[in-house]
Amino acid sequence: MPASQTTSDQLSLLSLIDDSIVDPRALSQVRHALNNMATMDIAHYIESSPIKVRRLLWELVDPEVEGEVFSDLNEELQKEFLQGMNSSEMALLVAGLDADDVADVLQQLPHRIIPHVLQAMDNQDRLRVESVLPYDEDSAGGLMNTDTITVRPDLTIDVILRYLRRHEELPEVTDSLFVVNRNDTFLGTLPLAKILTSSPNITVREIMNTSTEAIPAALPASEVAHMFKRHDWVSAPVINDHRKLLGRVTIDDVVDVIIEDAEHSLFGLVGLSDEEETFTSVRRSAPRRAVWLGINLGTAVLASVVINIFENTLDKVVALAILMPIVASMGGVAGSQTLTVVIRGMALGQVDRNNLRWLLSKEFFSATLNAMLWAAVIGMLASWWFEDNMIGYIIAAAMAINLITAAVAGSLLPVILKSVNIDPALAGSVMLTTITDVVGFFSFLGLATMFYL
């Protein structure tokens, strides 16, 4: 659907919703328009609507598609809609969903409620979900789907084809069958393309792919995404410590992981939780932002304390107050560039102890070259502006010091923070800003004090 048409449909629907708040007769039109959309579009419209109409939209969704719509909503909205439901309603809501989606929903509930919801589910669904629940939602086990097709290596392709024809449909995103022995130990994969192009009398053992790398269930989701990227997988098997096949991870789940990681990094760089959304209520949004604003205020006060140390110098040389923000600003930009590159490298699994020294050297020399260039530029500009060569030398030296410090700090901070289990994306930018401000002000005003007083 074209973007312009989607926007037009959304505006039309929201117009009906606004009318329905005043005129209940329009509710049937809203219900009809809403339930004629794809489930993912319904979820998108609910998320894109103001808070006051979200609940109304949700209540108008047909029960037959409620579960699919619910699984496409963000966690914040899922928690909101789950409030007030009893265990039977929750079980009915998640009926028919993939085991990994159901597990994600249940993991948001208080532990005392989970057994009641599981008990309300039918036996087959309960067993599938219970096989996923022990694993962290951010691991391969938490991502996996138990809906797989397995075959034995001694079967012929003719038998496999007859077996597949007995299924009304194959599981979504099926590009390969998984080959296991009688103990469900993973042996390899059998691509559908090979089934269609091989002789019917040939056995699975002869054409199966034994080099396929299975994913350990405990592997972090971000590492799973890296493996999919490296191997160009559409789906991949998940195994336990004994190589027993547990399920599979599919590309649609990996795309969700990639998007979530990107959102986490983006929000973290400005001190926001990745649970923040466009229409989050003031009651939830304000406290979350207040925490990091308070931390930032504390760091700003620290920088002001450094400035206050050189109060006498500032009183005598007014030009310093004019030039001072330039030093801190340039250091902040340089540090952010390095910090972003390093955090990205860490997210991609490219940064470790073996190459950290090389990375630090590269960033140091890159910063040194830029420091020499821009220190010379600002030094000449300041000398001409204030007709004082000394102030040009001072600001050039201070900028060089701050740019190099920013590069070193931007390289080391993410590694240090990760080693003490602090998220670099969330805390790195605040700490880096503090370092560049303090070092920038102290070097600039300290040098000025030495030469002017």
What confidence tier does 206 reach under pLDDT thresholds 50, 70, 90?
very high
Mean pLDDT for all residues in the chain: 81
Q: What is the token pair recorded at 55?
A: 């609940």
Q: Indicate whether 56 pLDDT > 50.
A: yes
Of 14-18, 36-40, 218-222, give the lowest mean pLDDT range.
14-18
Q: Are strands 215-216 and 186-191 parallel, antiparallel or unpaired?
A: unpaired
Mean pLDDT of 28-43: 82
What confidence tier does 422 reach under pLDDT thresholds 50, 70, 90?
confident
Quick check: 275 and 75 in contact, CB under 8 A?
A: yes
- Taking residue 377's Cβ as centre, other Cβ atoms within 10 Å add up to 12
* Residue 16 pLDDT: 52
* Residue 414 pLDDT: 87
Mean pLDDT of 317-339: 87
What confidence tier does 8 reach under pLDDT thresholds 50, 70, 90?
very low
With 0.75 as the threshold, say if the pTM is over it.
Answer: no
* Residue 380 pLDDT: 94
Q: Indicate whether 218 pLDDT > 60.
A: yes
Domain with CATH 1.25.60.10 in the chain: 3-137
Rounded CA-CA distance 303/445 in Å is: 12
Domain with CATH 3.10.580.10 in the chain: 150-250
Range of 12-16, 31-35, 73-77, 230-234 with top mean pLDDT: 230-234
What confidence tier does 376 reach under pLDDT thresholds 50, 70, 90?
very high
* Residue 288 pLDDT: 64
Q: Indicate whether 203 pLDDT > 90.
A: yes
Q: Indicate whether 145 pLDDT > 70.
A: yes
On the 0-12 / 13-18 / 19+ scale of CB atoms within 10 A, 329 is middle
Q: Indicate whether 293 pLDDT > 80.
A: no
Q: Indicate whether 22 pLDDT > 60.
A: no
* Residue 392 pLDDT: 92
Q: What is the dihedral of CA 366, 369, 373, 378, to 10 degrees?
A: 70
Of 177-181, 243-247, 420-424, give the lowest mean pLDDT range.
420-424
Domain with CATH 1.10.357.20 in the chain: 282-452
Q: Indicate whether 187 pLDDT > 50.
A: yes
In percent, the amount of the chain with pLDDT more than 70 equals 84
Q: Would you say domain 282-452 falls under CATH 1.10.1040.10?
A: no
Give the CATH superfamily of 150-250: CBS-domain (3.10.580.10)
* Residue 106 pLDDT: 73
236 against 91, higher pLDDT: 236
Of 122-126, 182-186, 277-281, give the lowest mean pLDDT range.
277-281
* Residue 25 pLDDT: 62
Q: Indicate whether 38 pLDDT > 80.
A: yes
178 against 282, higher pLDDT: 178
* Residue 15 pLDDT: 52
Q: Indicate whether 4 pLDDT > 60.
A: no
What confidence tier does 19 reach under pLDDT thresholds 50, 70, 90?
very low
* Residue 26 pLDDT: 67
**What is the CATH number assigned to the segment(s) 3-137?**
1.25.60.10
* Residue 20 pLDDT: 46
Q: Minimal CA–CA distance to 176: which of 201, 125, 210?
A: 210
Mean pLDDT of 140-159: 89
What confidence tier does 342 reach under pLDDT thresholds 50, 70, 90?
confident
Range of 80-94, 214-228, 300-314 with top mean pLDDT: 214-228
What confidence tier does 2 reach under pLDDT thresholds 50, 70, 90?
very low
Mean pLDDT of 108-116: 72
